[in-house]
Amino acid sequence: MATNLDTHEHYHQPGLQHQFEDMRQQQESDSIGMWMFLVQEIMFFGGLFTVYLVFRSKFPMAFAAGSNHLNVALGAANTLVLIVSSLTMALAVHYAQLGKRNLQVVLIILTMILGATFLGVKAVEYTDKYKEGIVPVSGLNLRTPNVEVDSARNTSKNPEEQEKNSLDFPEGAHDTKGNKPVTEHGEEKEYVNRRGNFLWEDTSLVVAAQQGNYLTDAEKIGYFENGEINAEKFRDKVRIFFWIYFAMTGLHALHMIIGLGVMAWLLWKAWRGTFTPEYYAPVEMAGLYWHFVDIVWIFLFPLLYLLGRHFLHSGGGH
């Protein structure tokens, strides 16, 4: 990127930029700069963690219910995948410091594979939620029409009504005739989700908490209508959990994707043997970023996947 403006002589130590006096100053600047960047990342995620904290303290039961519905095995597996990738990254930095090109390249590739695995598992989880109809954004879920209800409606004698139905739910009407989304083992799925709505009926945790008398005051207002548990109102609170879940894991996944991009660039550089024991700052900086993303997940895993796990094992009460 040297332009015609740089008329002065460079020292031409590899990687030394013109504004610095020597390599030490550059290295120091790079590492402080990267840490400053990580601090702003902490605050960036911090906003979401604050949102989480506020709603978790208001509606713990809704959060427990939502959390219990996540696939904890996949979450735990992903945690391990990320930890291993952190190790490979740390080792990549280690061999960059020692100037061993081949090991660097291998370890960077391993890190990338592990990162991609993480994203793959995440995609599987998202797909599951989408199919189950619990993506909290209205209309974004898989539409799964109930065959019987639809065919009953469509056999209605009144042609106008029939047309109205098919206009209302064009996908549903189509699906009843064409491919059968409902039958995997020959039987129907339990639910109908024609508009792709968020579905949630299970209020057992509220019942248990009411019996155990540990609802928060916000929950006493938030889940009940005329003294009765209102499934719709509870569903809205569970929905908040899933919004936060998708926002946090989504932002984290975005950081992973950016990380993979950085790794690809790093791989190219390492492949060309750019890094020496004197100049390996980019590897180290990328490493810091990667570890940071790992740390975020270290917190996301228990906060999102493991809330209220114990309710499942103690029968939902005390």
Partner 1 sequence: MAEHISENHDEHSHHTEGEHHIVSIPLYLMVFAVLVVGTILTYFTAQWDLDWIFPGANTLLALLIAFTKMMFVILFFMHVKYSSKLIWLTAIAGFFWLAIMFAFTMQDYLTRSAGVFTR
Partner 2 sequence: MQNVDATNIDRVGNEPELNYLNNGSSVKSWLLTKDHKRIAILYLLSVSVFFALGGIYASFIRLELLTPQSDLLESGTYNRVFTQHGVLMVFFFLIPAIPAILGNFLIPIMIGAKDLAFPRINLLSWYIYICGGAFTLWALLQGGVDTGWTFYTPYSTTFSNSYVMAVGLGIFINGFSSILTGLNFIVTIHTMRAPGMTWFRMPLFVWAHYATSLVMLLGTPVIAITVLLLALERVAKIGIFDPAIGGDPILFQHLFWFYSHPAVYIMILPGMGVVSELISNFSRKKIFGYEFIAFSSIAIAVFGFLVWGHHMFVSGQSIYASLVFSFLSMVVAIPSAIKVFNWTATLYKGQISYDTPMLYGLFFIGLFLIGGLTGLFLGAMGLDVHLTDTYFIVAHFHYVMVGGQVLAYLGGLHYWWSKITGKMYSEFWSKIAAMIIFVGFNLTFFPQFILGYMGMPRRYASYPAEFQVLNIFSTAGASVLAIGLLMPLVYFTYSIFFGAKAPANPWLLPGLEWRTSSPPPTENFEKTPIVTWEAYDFTEESGLDLENARNRLRAPLA
**Residues near partner 1, by CB under 8 A:** 24, 27-28, 31-32, 35-36, 38-39, 42-43, 46-47, 49-50, 53-54, 57-58, 60, 72, 76, 79-80, 83-84, 86-87, 89-91, 94, 97-98, 214-218, 221, 284, 287-288, 291-292, 294-295, 298-299, 301-303, 306-314, 318
CB of 127: closest distance to partner 2 in angstroms?
A: 18
**198 lies in the site for partner 2, by CB under 8 A:** no
Q: Could you tell which of partner 2, partner 1, none binds residue 140, using a CB distance below 5 to 8 A set by kind?
A: partner 2
List the one residue from 9, 12, 21, 315 that touches partner 2 (CB under 8 A). 21
Task: Kindly calculate the radius of gyration of the chain based on its CA atoms and give it in whole angstroms.
Answer: 26
Choice between 57 and 156, CB closer to partner 2 = 57
Tell me the window of 16-24, 96-104, 163-171, 309-317 that interacts with partner 2 (CB under 8 A).
16-24
Binding to partner 2 (CB under 8 A): which residues in 209-268?
Answer: 222, 233, 236-237, 239-240, 243-244, 247, 251
The interface with partner 2 within residues 51-110 (CB under 8 A) comprises: 51, 54-55, 58-59
Cβ-in-10-Å burial (0-12, 13-18, 19+) of 212 comes to exposed
Q: Is 46 in the site for partner 2 (CB under 8 A)?
A: yes
**Angle between helix 159-168 and 170-177 (nearest 10):** 110
Asked if residue 314 binds partner 2 (CB under 8 A), the reply is: no
The nearest distance, CB 309 to partner 1, in angstroms, is: 4
DSSP the chain: ---TT--SPP---TT--TT-SSHHHHHHHHHHHHHHHHHHHHHHHHHHHHHHHHHHHH-HHHHHHHHHTS-HHHHHHHHHHHHHHHHHHHHHHHHHHHT-HHHHHHHHHHHHHHHHHHHHHHHHHHHHHHHHT--SSTT-SPPB--HHHHHHHHT-S-HHHHHHHHHHSHHHHHHHHSS-TT-SSSS--S--BSS--------HHHHHHHHHT---HHHHHHSEETTEE-HHHHHHHHHHHHHHHHHHHHHHHHHHHHHHHHHHHHHHHHHTT---SS--HHHHHHHHHHHHHHHHHHHHIIIIISTTHHHHHTTT--
48 binds, among partner 2, partner 1, none (CB under 5 to 8 A by kind): partner 2
Residue span 121-140 as binding mask against partner 2, x where in contact by CB under 8 A, dash where not: ---------------xxx-x
* Minimum distance from residue 271 beta carbon to partner 2 (Å): 23
Q: Which residues in this chain contact partner 2 in the complex, by CB under 8 A?
A: 1, 3-5, 7-8, 17-21, 25, 28-29, 32-33, 36-37, 39-41, 43-48, 50-51, 54-55, 58-59, 136-138, 140, 222, 233, 236-237, 239-240, 243-244, 247, 251
